[in-house]
């Protein structure tokens, strides 16, 4: 019995990555705002080199959870382990120091600044006390080309002149330029056309291939199933399902999102799921 | 992009997917031309695209200056507008608006407005004038100037704090400030009919008087001009060379040459105009007013701060997207408060120049804070600074100031009566509306280019 239980767990770990500790591990995260409980004992693993899709209906707690990881909120209870060590993320600066970067839905780009200026905003390089534009431009160009964001005409063009997909790409490139290990993407394909969605999804896959842990928050299940290696579903502040994407199909994810259970049953651990199969 | 996409060089990054073709035309219009073009011809074509899309930089205000000059030359009695003596007078008058418009630009870039600049500038001027009085405080001129700048900086910081910390709209805060400080100005001046004058026979006081009225000999002017042009040319050439060496796009050599030649022509024209004898048969007056290099230093300093420092970058970022700036870890209140403080301190310098321009005398007649602030905001916006924040440079304030100064003086040249009084208000008003229209339309153009 013990052996049987251990083997699938090993298998599920294998599915999680290279069998190592996940890059980020949340255990028992509680968060409330006044009388409103937003998160109840949430557990979540974000392994390196994998894309985790975080799903949930409006108000399920996706944004709150993201903000807890990003340092914008502090959880009331629970533990966050980063690379196996317990950490306290008290601010977005703390998160950046760990290598956690967040791309919010509104992208937070300044339209009047160009791509380079946006990518280095708040972390400008100086030389003799003045902005070192050339070195920043080289670094930004290198990051964009390693991510194969090649559709922009000039990295000195103002962000206002970019298409939605290009803006999203710049925001993502901005997030990964800082040797980040975990990138949180909030609705990266909302408001994008078909072609642009495709290029952003390709970009997300390239982040994974570079060994980054990626969490994608999305309403669009097509996109989630396209890029996600793992899927996690929040329902009314509880993590009702979390596991390899192969354990899910569209129907079950929708049911978890809307009722917290699929086929009338709660999500079973990877071990039981593989036993079921 | 244009009729022939094959001629468009890709920048540091390649080009090629559907995204590009969809957005190329609009995007190209917004790109600073020197960054997409490698040859002069391409540069000019890219530049023309931008002009047509409304992102024309200094072009509208330069055109407006030319038009105003031509019109006034035609309608003024005896075609006196473009006489060297009048032009030098316009330079002097405009420098006040230039310095104030640069100050206002800093606040406008944050998408705020400072309506108290006029009153604060005049307070700064009166304080400096009072502090060098003899008998009286008899401070050295530089201490008086610094004290005026510091006091006005404090006033600006106070208004900035109300705006930045309590988020009271700057329009209201500085409108109250304008009324408040206009009253305090009269008190400091010593009553409604008081004047404070500089005694030019005292060297210490004469120094402030000479800030506008003092003249540089034409020979020295030529030497300064030559040094500036050689320095600017060398800097641009070295910078382009350094960028090409690192594989970055640099403006074509022809463009750099054209820029330097234009700079030389404008500089030489100013020196020649100032070198013409504008005195009378008894006493010849030639030379360049000290205020011209002073304004150039203010322009250079603010250009450096806004374009090449972190602080300037943060001002633009806050004006473009406060939320993006906040997420980037920028302290919005600190930048806002300090920007208001620096705006008011710069304005104080303008106030000192104003007193110096009126032959070292301050009175409630020469000092009208209401008209001053209206002309200041108009100068900045006419120059090309956006009222919506995040767009504009110090040079725009300078050009706008010159235009407003030209209009103000041109109107005063008209024979007094039915024409001059209404035109004094109608002309700047008309120009201002046109400038705001250009601002709004070009913003709309940029907005549609986002394509979201």
Q: Most A CBs within 10 Å: which of B320, B445, B448, as the mutation test of the A interface?
A: B320
Pick from B13, B22, B325: which is nearest to A145 by CB? B13
Tell me: pLDDT of A152 over 80. no
- Stretch 49-108 of chain A: residues touching chain B, C-beta under 8 Å: 92-93, 104, 106, 108
User: What is the pLDDT confidence band of residue A19, given thresholds at 50, 70 and 90?
Assistant: low
Tell me: pLDDT of A13 over 60. no
* Cβ–Cβ gap A166/B19 under 8 Å: yes
Q: Residue B23: its pLDDT value, please?
A: 40
Pick from A129, A157, A166: which is nearest to B30 by CB? A157
- Note whether A155 contacts B: Cβ–Cβ < 8 A: yes
Range from A66-75, B27-36, B295-304 that averages highest in pLDDT: B295-304
Q: Residue B445: its pLDDT value, please?
A: 59
Q: Residue B15: its pLDDT value, please?
A: 37
* Cβ–Cβ gap A166/B328 under 8 Å: no
Mean pLDDT for chain A overall: 84
Q: Residue B37: its pLDDT value, please?
A: 53
* Cβ–Cβ gap B249/A156 under 8 Å: yes
**Token pair 């006493």 is at which residue?**
B283
Domain stop point among A130, A155, A178: A178
What is the domain range of residue A131? 110-178
Pick from B12, B23, B316: which is nearest to A113 by CB? B316
Shared-domain flag, residues B45 and B87: no
Shared-domain flag, residues B344 and B432: yes
Q: Taking CB atoms and an 8 Å cutoff, what residues of chain A touch B304?
A: 130
Q: Residue B377: its pLDDT value, please?
A: 92
Q: Is B169 left (phi over 0), alpha (psi -120 to 50) or beta?
A: beta
Q: Residue B56: its pLDDT value, please?
A: 62
Residue A237 lies in a domain: yes
Q: Which of B182, B216, B107, B221 is nearest to B351 (CA)?
A: B182
Tell me: pLDDT of A276 over 70. no
- Note whether A194 contacts B: Cβ–Cβ < 8 A: no
Shared-domain flag, residues B333 and B442: yes
User: What is the pLDDT confidence band of residue A150, given thresholds at 50, 70 and 90?
Assistant: confident
d(CA B261, CA B264): 5
- Residue B324, phi then psi, degrees to nearest 5: -60, -40
Q: Residue B13: its pLDDT value, please?
A: 39
Q: Which of A243, A234, A232 is nearest to A268 (CA)?
A: A243
Shared-domain flag, residues B73 and B44: no
Task: Give residue-wise pLDDT tens across range B73-104.
Answer: 988 888 888 888 899 999 999 999 999 999 99
- Over residues B245-261, the mean pLDDT reads 85
Q: Residue B10: its pLDDT value, please?
A: 38
d(CA A152, CA B11): 9
Q: Taking CB atoms and an 8 Å cutoff, what residues of chain B touch A139?
A: none
Q: Residue A48: its pLDDT value, please?
A: 92
Contact indicator for B160, B337 with CB cutoff of 8 Å: yes
Q: Residue B25: its pLDDT value, please?
A: 42
Shared-domain flag, residues A87 and A165: no
Shared-domain flag, residues A76 and A202: yes
Number of domains forming the structure of chain B: 2
Q: Residue A2: its pLDDT value, please?
A: 37
Task: Give residue-wise pLDDT tens across range A221-230.
Answer: 889 999 999 9
Residue A9 lies in a domain: no
Shared-domain flag, residues B10 and B98: no
Tell me: pLDDT of B252 over 70. yes
Shared-domain flag, residues B160 and B85: yes
Tell me: pLDDT of A18 over 60. no
Task: Give residue-wise pLDDT tens across range B160-217.
Answer: 999 999 999 999 999 999 999 999 999 998 887 888 888 888 888 888 899 888 899 9
d(CA A165, CA B28): 17
- A54: which strand partners? A217, A232
d(CA B271, CA A36): 73
Mean pLDDT for chain B overall: 84
Q: Residue B228: its pLDDT value, please?
A: 93
d(CA B349, CA A141): 42
Pick from B24, B304, B321: which is nearest to A109 by CB? B321
Residue A191 lies in a domain: yes
User: What is the pLDDT confidence band of residue B345, given thresholds at 50, 70 and 90?
Assistant: very high
Q: Residue B416: its pLDDT value, please?
A: 63
- Note whether A190 contacts B: Cβ–Cβ < 8 A: no
Shared-domain flag, residues A184 and A174: no
What's the whole-model pTM score?
A: 0.85
CA distance B445 to chain A (A): 10
Residue A164 lies in a domain: yes
Number of domains forming the structure of chain A: 2
Task: Give residue-wise pLDDT tens across range B421-449.
Answer: 787 778 878 888 887 887 777 766 554 44
Domain stop point among A130, A148, A178: A178
**What secondary structure letter does DSSP report for A114?**
B
Shared-domain flag, residues B32 and B181: no
* Cβ–Cβ gap A121/B390 under 8 Å: no
Residue A143 lies in a domain: yes
Q: Which of A162, A106, A131, A180 is nearest to B322 (CA)?
A: A106
Shared-domain flag, residues A84 and A128: no
**Residue bearing the bigger pLDDT, B347 or B21:** B347
Percent of chain B with pLDDT over 70: 85
Tell me: pLDDT of B22 over 70. no
Q: Residue B280: its pLDDT value, please?
A: 77
Pick from A122, A150, A161: which is nearest to B449 by CB? A161
CA distance A123 to chain B (A): 8
Q: Taking CB atoms and an 8 Å cutoff, what residues of chain B touch A196?
A: 19
Q: Taking CB atoms and an 8 Å cutoff, what residues of chain B touch A138?
A: 246-248
Residue B344 lies in a domain: yes
Shared-domain flag, residues B16 and B116: no
Contact indicator for A178, A198 with CB cutoff of 8 Å: no
- Over residues B323-345, the mean pLDDT reads 94
* Cβ–Cβ gap A161/B26 under 8 Å: yes
- Over residues B328-339, the mean pLDDT reads 94
Shared-domain flag, residues B3 and B142: no
Residue A12 lies in a domain: no
Tell me: pLDDT of B59 over 60. yes
Task: Give residue-wise pLDDT tens across range A156-191.
Answer: 888 888 888 888 889 988 888 888 899 999 988 887
Q: Please compute Rg for chain B using Cα positions.
A: 23
Tell me: pLDDT of B27 over 50. no
Q: Residue A9: its pLDDT value, please?
A: 37
Shared-domain flag, residues B122 and B146: yes
**Residue bearing the bigger pLDDT, B391 or B438:** B391
Q: Residue B443: its pLDDT value, please?
A: 66
Q: Which residues fall within 8 angstroms of residue B335, CB to CB, at 6 or more apart?
A: B110, B311, B314, B315, B318, B325
Q: Residue B33: its pLDDT value, please?
A: 53
Tell me: pLDDT of B385 over 60. yes
User: What is the pLDDT confidence band of residue B50, given thresholds at 50, 70 and 90?
Assistant: low
> What's the complex ipTM?
0.82
- Residue B357: count of CB within 10 angstroms of its CB: 23
Q: For the CA atoms of A211, A212, A218, A220, what is the dihedral angle to 10 degrees?
A: -20
Q: Which residue of A has its CA nearest to B30?
A: A161
Range from A16-30, A198-212, B254-268, B339-353 that averages highest in pLDDT: B339-353
Residue A15 lies in a domain: no
Task: Give residue-wise pLDDT tens across range B121-137.
Answer: 999 999 999 999 988 88
Task: Give residue-wise pLDDT tens across range A197-208.
Answer: 888 898 899 899
Domain stop point among A124, A152, A178: A178
Q: Residue B49: its pLDDT value, please?
A: 64
Shared-domain flag, residues A235 and A122: no
- Note whether B175 contacts A: Cβ–Cβ < 8 A: no
Shared-domain flag, residues B76 and B47: no
- Over residues B398-410, the mean pLDDT reads 92
> How distant, in Å, are the alpha carbons of A55, B168, B311 from that of A101?
19, 33, 24
- Note whether A186 contacts B: Cβ–Cβ < 8 A: no
Tell me: pLDDT of B347 over 60. yes
What is the domain range of residue B403? 54-214+290-450
Residue A204 lies in a domain: yes
d(CA A52, CA A232): 7
Angle in degrees, CA A232, A238, A243, rounded to 5: 25
Q: Which residues fall within 8 angstroms of residue A208, CB to CB, at 6 or more apart?
A: A49, A50, A51, A214, A227, A229
Q: Residue A163: its pLDDT value, please?
A: 84
Contact indicator for B105, B347 with CB cutoff of 8 Å: no
CATH number of the domain at B359, please: 1.10.3470
CATH number of the domain at A55, please: 3.40.50.300
- Over residues A62-75, the mean pLDDT reads 90
């Amino acid at each position: 019995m013990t052996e049987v239980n251990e083997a699938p767990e090993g298998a599920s770990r294998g599915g999680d990555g290279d069998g190592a500790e996940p890059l980020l591990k949340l255990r028992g995260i509680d968060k409330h705002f006044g009388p409103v409980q937003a998160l109840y004992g949430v557990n979540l693993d974000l392994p390196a080199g994998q894309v985790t899709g975080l799903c949930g209906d409006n108000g399920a707690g996706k944004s709150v959870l993201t903000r807890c990881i990003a340092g914008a909120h502090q959880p009331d209870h629970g533990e966050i382990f980063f690379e196996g060590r317990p950490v306290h993320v008290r601010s977005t600066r703390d998160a950046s120091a760990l290598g956690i970067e967040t791309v919010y839905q509104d992208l937070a780009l300044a339209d009047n600044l160009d791509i380079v200026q946006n990518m280095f905003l708040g972390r400008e390089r100086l030389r003799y006390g003045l902005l070192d534009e050339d070195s920043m431009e080289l670094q930004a160009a290198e990051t964009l080309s390693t991510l194969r964001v090649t559709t922009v005409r000039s990295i000195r063009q103002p962000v206002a002149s970019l298409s939605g997909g290009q803006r999203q790409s710049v925001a993502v490139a901005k997030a990964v330029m800082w040797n980040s290990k975990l990138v949180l993407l909030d609705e990266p394909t909302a408001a994008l056309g078909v072609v642009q969605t495709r290029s952003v999804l390709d970009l997300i896959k390239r982040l994974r291939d570079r060994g980054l842990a990626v969490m994608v928050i999305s309403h669009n299940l097509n996109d989630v199933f396209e890029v996600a290696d793992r899927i996690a579903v929040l329902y009314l502040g509880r993590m009702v399902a979390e596991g390899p994407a192969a354990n899910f199909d569209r129907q079950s994810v929708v049911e978890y999102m809307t009722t917290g259970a699929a086929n009338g049953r709660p999500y079973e651990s990877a071990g039981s799921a593989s036993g079921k199969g | 992009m244009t009729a022939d996409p094959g001629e468009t060089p890709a920048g540091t990054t390649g080009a090629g997917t559907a995204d590009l073709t969809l957005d190329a035309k609009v995007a190209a219009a917004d790109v600073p031309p020197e960054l997409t073009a490698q040859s002069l011809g391409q540069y000019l074509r890219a530049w023309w695209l931008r002009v047509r899309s409304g992102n024309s930089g200094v072009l509208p205000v330069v055109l407006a200056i030319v038009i105003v000059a031509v019109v006034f030359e035609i309608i003024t009695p005896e075609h006196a507008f473009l006489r060297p003596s009048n032009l030098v007078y316009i330079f002097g008058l405009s420098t006040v608006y230039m310095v104030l418009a640069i100050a206002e630009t800093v606040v406008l870039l944050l998408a705020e407005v400072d309506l108290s600049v006029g009153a604060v500038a005049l307070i700064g001027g009166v304080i400096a004038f009072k502090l060098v009085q003899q008998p009286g405080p008899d401070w050295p001129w530089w201490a008086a100037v610094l004290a005026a700048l510091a006091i006005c900086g404090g006033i600006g910081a106070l208004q900035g704090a109300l705006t930045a910390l309590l988020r009271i709209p700057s329009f209201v805060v500085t409108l109250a400030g304008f009324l408040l400080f206009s009253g305090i100005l009269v008190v400091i001046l010593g009553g409604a009919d008081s004047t404070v004058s500089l005694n030019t026979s005292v060297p210490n006081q004469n120094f402030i008087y000479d800030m506008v009225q003092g003249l540089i000999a034409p020979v020295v002017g030529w030497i300064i001009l030559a040094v500036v042009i050689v320095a600017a040319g060398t800097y641009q050439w070295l910078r382009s060379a350094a960028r090409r060496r690192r594989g970055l796009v640099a403006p074509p050599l022809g463009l750099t040459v054209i820029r330097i030649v234009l700079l030389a022509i404008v500089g030489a024209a100013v020196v020649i105009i100032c070198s013409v004898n504008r005195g009378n048969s008894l006493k010849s007056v030639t030379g360049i007013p000290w205020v011209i290099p002073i304004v150039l230093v203010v322009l250079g300093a603010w250009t450096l701060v806004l374009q090449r420092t972190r602080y300037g970058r943060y001002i633009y970022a806050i004006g473009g997207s406060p939320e993006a700036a906040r997420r980037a870890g920028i302290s919005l209140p600190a930048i806002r408060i300090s920007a208001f403080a620096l705006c008011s301190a710069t304005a104080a310098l303008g106030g000192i120049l104003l007193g110096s321009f009126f032959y070292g005398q301050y009175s409630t007649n020469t000092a009208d804070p209401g008209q001053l602030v209206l002309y200041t905001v108009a100068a900045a916006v006419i120059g090309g600074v956006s009222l919506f924040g995040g767009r504009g440079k110090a040079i725009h304030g300078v050009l706008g100031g010159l235009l407003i100064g030209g209009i103000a003086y041109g109107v005063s040249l008209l024979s007094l009566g039915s024409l001059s009084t209404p035109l004094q208000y109608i002309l700047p008003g008309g120009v201002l509306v046109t400038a705001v229209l250009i601002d709004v339309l070009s913003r709309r153009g940029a907005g549609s280019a986002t394509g979201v």
